[in-house]
């Protein structure tokens, strides 16, 4: 019987496992996919292991819902911080290691987790889209009538296009709601579907919009299908970004055991 915890950050949901004793069969991709399956398993956009890491409060190991180990997940990282606090590994702040390097984070009494992301540079700005890496690769495209947009169909087409072969990319569609305020919908690789929220995607959109002069403040509100996130950053030239912080709620949904 496997003890698990289910967390969600603005609707981006994850199966959390305390793997500090290294008991979980990490090579078993089919097991990970089964646990993330919404009909036959627990259900989640991904699975995250919390592990020991020398010199850090913990290590984050993230798997896509299809069982493949993935790049950084911003909302997953925020949820893992909340999980670490529940386990009493940390108090209100922490430093952990993930696949894209070191991260620091704070968590408020209200459950708002602010996660420092990696520095960002090398933004590719084209006529109809932009591309950047915020720990995971993201295509960003401004559209009209986002509520009725074919996120799945067009997102899948872009994700699998020759432009991003062979690894593919996450795809974000954006509509401006107001000054320094945007709404997005995201097609995530690995999930191979639209998700209710994507933290690295929201971060990519905020930086991309600022880089293109579509907003003028270094704190940007991003509405996702599952709620709202805030991204802040520092830049001197609109090219390189540092002290990038992703903030939003991270909550325990439920916990239990499942036979494996």
Dihedral angle, C-alpha 106, 109, 111, 116, nearest 10 °: -10
Q: What number of helices (H) and strands (E) belong to the chain?
A: 4, 17
- Residue 109, annotated ligand binder? no
Beta strands 101-107 and 112-116 are: antiparallel
Residues 6+ apart with CB under 8 A from 161: none
CB 135 within 8 A of CB 71: yes
- Residue 200, annotated ligand binder? yes
> Phi-psi category of 43—alpha, beta or left, where left has phi over 0 and alpha has psi -120 to 50?
left
Report phi then psi at 221, rounded to 5.
-95, 130
198 in catalytic set: yes
- Residue 243, annotated ligand binder? no
- Residue 64, annotated ligand binder? yes
- Residue 12, annotated ligand binder? yes
**Residue tagged active-site, from 79, 94, 198, 215:** 198
215 in catalytic set: no
- Residue 188, annotated ligand binder? yes
- Structure tokens, 57: 């409060």
- Residue 203, annotated ligand binder? no
**Residue tagged active-site, from 36, 73, 79, 215:** 73
Residues 6+ apart with CB under 8 A from 75: 9, 10, 12, 14, 197, 198, 199, 248, 250
Distance CA(142)–CA(123), nearest Å, equals 16
Binding residues: 12, 64, 74-75, 170, 188-189, 199-200
Binding residues for substrate: 12, 64, 74-75, 170, 188-189, 199-200
Active site residues: 73, 198
């Amino acid at each position: 019987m496997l003890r698990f915890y289910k967390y969600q950050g603005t609707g981006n949901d994850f199966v959390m496992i305390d793997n500090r004793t290294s008991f979980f069969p990490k090579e078993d991709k089919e097991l990970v996919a089964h646990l993330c399956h919404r009909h036959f398993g627990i259900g989640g956009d991904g699975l995250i292991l919390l592990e020991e890491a020398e010199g850090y409060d913990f290590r984050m190991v993230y798997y896509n819902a299809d069982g493949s180990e993935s790049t950084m997940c911003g909302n997953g990282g925020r949820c893992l911080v909340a999980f670490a606090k529940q386990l009493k590994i940390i108090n209100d702040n922490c430093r952990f290691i993930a696949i894209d390097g070191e991260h620091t984070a704070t968590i408020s009494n209200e459950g708002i987790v602010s996660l420092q992301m990696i520095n960002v540079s090398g933004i590719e700005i084209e006529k109809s889209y932009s591309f950047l890496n915020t720990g995971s690769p993201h295509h960003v495209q401004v559209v009209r009538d986002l509520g009725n947009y074919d996120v799945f169909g067009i997102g899948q087409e872009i994700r699998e296009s020759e432009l991003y072969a062979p690894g593919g990319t996450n795809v974000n569609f954006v509509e401006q709601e107001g000054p320094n305020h945007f709404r997005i919908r995201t097609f995530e690789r690995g999930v191979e579907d639209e998700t209710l929220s994507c933290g690295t995607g929201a971060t990519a959109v905020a930086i991309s919009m600022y880089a293109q002069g579509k907003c003028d403040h270094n704190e940007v509100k991003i509405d996702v299908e599952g709620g709202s996130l805030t991204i802040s950053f520092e830049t001197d030239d609109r090219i390189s970004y540092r002290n990038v912080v992703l903030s939003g709620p991270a909550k325990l949904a439920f916990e239990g055991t499942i036979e494996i």
